[in-house]
Amino acid sequence: MFKIMVAEDDTNTRKFMEAALRAAGYGVVAAADGEEALALMDTEFVDLIVLDIMMPKMDGYEFAETLRKCGVNIPILMVTAKCLPEDACKGFIAGTDDYMVKPINIDEMLLRIKALLRRAKIVSERKLKVGKLLLNYDAFSVQYENEPEQVLPQKEFLLLYKLLSSPDKIFTRLQLMDEIWGMETDSVDTTVNVHVNKLRKRFAAYNEFEIIAIRGIGYKGKVNDAQKN
């Protein structure tokens, strides 16, 4: 069972989140402020933190920064009444992974938590399973069921892994270029198009996923419904 920490100073909001998380099958540990949450980290193992920004003693920004400086990479979903873009930017700079504005829609919160936990699992295991297809990050390899493992060219593998790690998320060509080829590369963004076409041809016989072009923007990976867990 995954365990979620809720760090929220408003008693009613905290209890509401706790109840919703328990109903969804999660274990829950709660804190009323940043200092209490930090102390609990010494005694409780948690898989994800739902973190309010405006808390007494230690606010959410400071709490997130403290964890990241200590090398703690637990996913953090920050929730706040602040809705300005600069507040979101400050949260991401502090080390949060996702951001929601109050009042919270519980169904959306649960979906975001599920997505964050899934990505954290992918990062820790360095493997990604899509239907019958297994991607091994350490070997740059792909294996379909009991077929021989095939090693992909590095850039092709990294592109595929990126798109399938966050299915349905749109990545611009510039984002993909910066992350996979590096900001200093002399390659042009048509390089992404070329590698996408190579991947499409390579996996044309499989129906586990699609790489969809978003006209004028970039690409997204789509896991076919029959392959979703």
pLDDT at 37: 92
Could you tell me if 148 and 213 lie in one domain?
yes
Could you tell me if 155 and 111 lie in one domain?
no
- The pTM of this model reads 0.59
Could you tell me if 77 and 164 lie in one domain?
no
Could you tell me if 70 and 178 lie in one domain?
no
Q: Looking at residue 139, which CATH number applies to its domain? A: 1.10.10.10
Could you tell me if 38 and 65 lie in one domain?
yes
| DSSP assigned state of 225 | G
Could you tell me if 119 and 165 lie in one domain?
no
Last residue of a domain, one of 102, 124, 146: 124
pLDDT at 72: 82
Q: Give residue 135's pLDDT band: very low, low, confident or very high (50, 70, 90).
A: very high
Residue at 97: amino acid letter: D
Q: Which range of residues forms the domain containing residue 97? A: 3-124
Exposure string over 38-57, b if 16+ CB within 10 A, otherwise e: beebeeeebbbbbbbbebee
pLDDT at 228: 55
Could you tell me if 205 and 146 lie in one domain?
yes
* Spatial CB neighbours of 14, under 8 Å, sequence gap ≥ 6: 6, 8, 30, 32
Q: Looking at residue 65, which CATH number applies to its domain? A: 3.40.50.2300
Q: Is the pLDDT of residue 40 over 60?
A: yes
**What total number of domains does the chain contain?**
2
Could you tell me if 95 and 158 lie in one domain?
no
pLDDT at 88: 77
CB-count burial class (<10 Å; 0-12, 13-18, 19+) for 17:
buried
Could you tell me if 141 and 206 lie in one domain?
yes
Could you tell me if 19 and 120 lie in one domain?
yes
Least Cα distance to 36 among 6, 15, 61, 70 occurs for 6
Q: Tens digits of per-residue pLDDT, 155-181? A: 999 999 999 988 888 888 888 888 788
Q: Is the pLDDT of residue 143 over 60?
A: yes
Last residue of a domain, one of 124, 155, 178: 124
